[in-house]
Amino acid sequence: MEKLQFQGGDRAVDEYAEYRRYKQHKTDFKELPKERPVLLPCKVSKCPCKSFHYIPLNGSRPIRCRCKHFADEHSLAGTYHCTKCTKCSGFHSSFTCGCGQPAYAHDTIVETKEERLAQGKPVGHDVPYASMGGLTGFSSLAEGYMRLDASGTEPPGIDKQVSSMRLSEEDDMAYFERRYQERLRKEKEHKRQKNSKPPTTQRP
Low-confidence residues in the chain, pLDDT < 70: 1-20, 128-141, 143-172, 197-204
- Residue 39's φ and ψ, nearest 5 degrees, are -95, 145
Query: In this predicted model, what pLDDT tens digit does every residue of 53-103 receive, in sequence order?
Result: 888 888 788 899 999 999 989 998 888 999 999 999 899 998 888 778 888
pLDDT of the residue at 157: 46
- Residue 138's φ and ψ, nearest 5 degrees, are -60, -35
Torsion sign over Cα 77, 78, 80, 83 = negative
145 vs 185: CA distance, rounded Å: 19
66 vs 90: CA distance, rounded Å: 9
What does the H/E/C string look like for the chain?
A: CCCCCCCCCHHHHHHHHHHHHHCCECCCCCCCCCCCCCCCCECCCCCCCCCCCCCCEECCEECECCCCCEHHHECCCCCCCECCCCCCCCCCCCCECCCCCEHHHCCCCCCCHHHHHHCCCCCCCCCCCHHHCCCCCHHHHCCHHHCCCCCCCCCCCCCCCHHHCCCCCCCHHHHHHHHHHHHHHHHHHHHHHHHHCCCCCCCC
65 vs 62: CA distance, rounded Å: 10
Q: Which amino acid is at 66?
A: R
54 vs 108: CA distance, rounded Å: 6
